[in-house]
Amino acid sequence: MVIDAVVILSGGMDSTTLLYDLKNRGLNLIAISFEYKQKHIKEIECAKMTCKKLNVEHKILNLDVLSDVAPSSLTRNEIDIPDGHYAEDSMKQTVVPNRNMVMISLAASFAMSKKINKLYYGAHAGDHIIYPDCRKEFIDKIKEILLISDWHKVEFEAPYFNINKADIVEIGKNLNVDYSLTWTCYNGRLKACGKCGSCNERLESFKIVGMVDPIEYEYN
Amino acid sequence: MVIDAVVILSGGMDSTTLLYDLKNRGLNLIAISFEYKQKHIKEIECAKMTCKKLNVEHKILNLDVLSDVAPSSLTRNEIDIPDGHYAEDSMKQTVVPNRNMVMISLAASFAMSKKINKLYYGAHAGDHIIYPDCRKEFIDKIKEILLISDWHKVEFEAPYFNINKADIVEIGKNLNVDYSLTWTCYNGRLKACGKCGSCNERLESFKIVGMVDPIEYEYN
């Protein structure tokens, strides 16, 4: 089977919706997820279940090295995940410096090695304020560099780049995305905390679209 | 101690000369090396010894994941290292797709996390023909992206970019670089093979400069 594209799949709502979306367009896909000692490792379990459900090949790559070089509240127990709104300055504690470039580089390396022509990535407009490696200028430079960094060119696509999380839920609603198999909370507990910036943005998005979020929360 | 720069140190001649060169300019450095299941893992032992000799802090990062996503003759026993000249087409079997972007991304992640302003990389003119991720256009794009991929900007420098390996040996001669602590051969045997493209380029460079290569060869 010829593979049309690699999709970076975190197991969160955005990349999961993207996977459904591309599958719905008839593309043959391989999904790649990264374990980097994130507290919210539950997202990887979600990614696995979604791939099984959609019959998509799934590669899980070990990136523990990222936590060693760049400690953040996402990976270190001694640094707390901040509560509050997703766009607040305190959320910058959740930045893992250069994380996306590292993940994209490795996923591109895989695509180049297998002569796959496209690489998809689920960054969206709500990410821009806090995460420098989700901004348009970053996406544009990545597009340029993946056309020259190997003899095999890889086209980089971030189709949700200009829309927000509520728009993504709207797309997912029409595609019957199973959001019970997605994980968004930055804390790694049994239920989503309902208080971190990531939970707040998720809950707001479901509210805007008029859907009930199927996962359980400690506080809602 | 304020660290002025991170240096990517393979343990080969180019990056080792660069380390001496920057140290000689009075910079406080941290060197980063990567283990990625390369057959020529001896280069890491060389990197260690050079850092010890120069009293430079040395981080060795595990990148086994790179061999999983992108098999090549450098990492897989079932694929032979080609003999011949460094610029020959057969040398393309030694390309690990996107290897340099992966390594640079991780070293940059470390620099950003520690608020270090500069990242040095030892690519040289002889690399351009075979390795797409050593070309000027690649270096230029990396320079641009590392200024925007995190809130902390990192300046990327490849000072040997326009000179060849013989020029580098000339610089190293003046700096008294201990080339017995460098490893160039792509095969991972006790002595350098003397036949692979990498050995050939090394031997030619020493000859041009009129120096004797201090390491032992199987064939010379």
pLDDT in tens, B116-149: 999 999 988 877 677 888 888 999 999 999 999 9
Examine the pLDDT at B80 and tell me if it is beyond 90: no
Are A161 and A136 a contacting pair, CB within 8 Å? yes
Q: So what's the pLDDT on residue A120?
A: 98
State the average pLDDT over residues B28-56.
94
Examine the pLDDT at A92 and tell me if it is beyond 80: no
Q: Which amino acid is at B124?
A: H
Least-confidence region, from A27-31, A91-95, A210-214, B29-33 = A91-95
Q: Please name the fold of domain A5-209.
A: Rossmann fold (3.40.50)
Query: Which ipTM was obtained for this model?
Result: 0.92
Higher pLDDT, A90 or B151: B151
Examine the pLDDT at B165 and tell me if it is beyond 80: yes
Band (pLDDT 50/70/90 cuts) for residue A87 is low
Q: Which residue's entry shows tokens 């180019």?
A: B14
Asked whether the beta carbons of residue B99 and residue A109 sit closer than 8 angstroms, the reply is yes
- For residue B52, give every residue at least 6 positions away whose Cβ sits within 8 Å of its Cβ, in sequence order, or none: B58
Cα distances from A19 to residues A26, A74, A167, in angstroms, run: 11, 24, 15
Which 3-state string (H, E, C) describes chain A? CCCCEEEECCCCHHHHHHHHHHHHCCCCEEEEEEECCCCCCHHHHHHHHHHHHHCCEEEEEECHHHHHHCCCCCCCCCCCCCECCCCCHHHHHHCCCCHHHHHHHHHHHHHHHCCCCEEECCCCHHHCCCCHHHCHHHHHHHHHHCCCCCCCCCEEECCCCCCCHHHHHHHHHHCCCCHHHCCCCCCCCCCECCCEHHHHHHHHHHHHHCCCCCCCECCC
State the average pLDDT over residues A129-152.
91
Examine the pLDDT at B213 and tell me if it is beyond 80: yes
Q: How many residues does chain B have?
A: 220
Q: So what's the pLDDT on residue B47?
A: 98
Examine the pLDDT at B32 and tell me if it is beyond 80: yes
Q: So what's the pLDDT on residue B86?
A: 61
What is the reported pTM?
0.93
Q: So what's the pLDDT on residue B77?
A: 75
pLDDT in tens, B187-210: 888 999 999 888 999 999 999 999
Q: Which amino acid is at B44?
A: I
Examine the pLDDT at A7 and tell me if it is beyond 90: yes
Determine the distance in angstroms separating the CA of B111 from the nearest CA of chain A, rounded to an integer.
8
Are B111 and B119 a contacting pair, CB within 8 Å? yes
Distance, in Å, from the CA atom of B74 to the CA atom of B16, rounded to the nearest integer, reads 20
Examine the pLDDT at A178 and tell me if it is beyond 90: yes
Q: So what's the pLDDT on residue B105?
A: 97
Band (pLDDT 50/70/90 cuts) for residue A67 is confident
Q: Name the residue of chain A whose CA is nearest to B92's CA.
A: A151
Handedness of CA B16, B18, B19, B24 (dihedral sign): positive
Average pLDDT of the residues of chain B: 91
Among residues 34-63 of chain B, which lie with CB inside 8 Å of chain A? Answer: 59, 61-63
Q: Which residue's entry shows tokens 């593979």?
A: A3
Determine the distance in angstroms separating the CA of B218 from the nearest CA of chain A, rounded to an integer.
32
Q: So what's the pLDDT on residue B73?
A: 75
Quick one: how far is CA A108 from the chain centroid?
16
Are B133 and A188 a contacting pair, CB within 8 Å? no
How many C-alpha atoms does A73 have within 13 Å on its Cβ side? Answer: 16
Q: So what's the pLDDT on residue B133?
A: 83
Using a CB-CB cut-off of 8 Å, the residues of chain B touching A145 are 101, 138, 141-142, 145
Q: So what's the pLDDT on residue B95?
A: 78
pLDDT in tens, A40-65: 889 999 999 999 999 999 999 999 99
Q: Where are any strands of DSSP class E within chain B?
A: 5-8, 29-35, 57-62, 118-120, 155-157
Tell me whether B71 touches chain A (CB under 8 Å).
yes
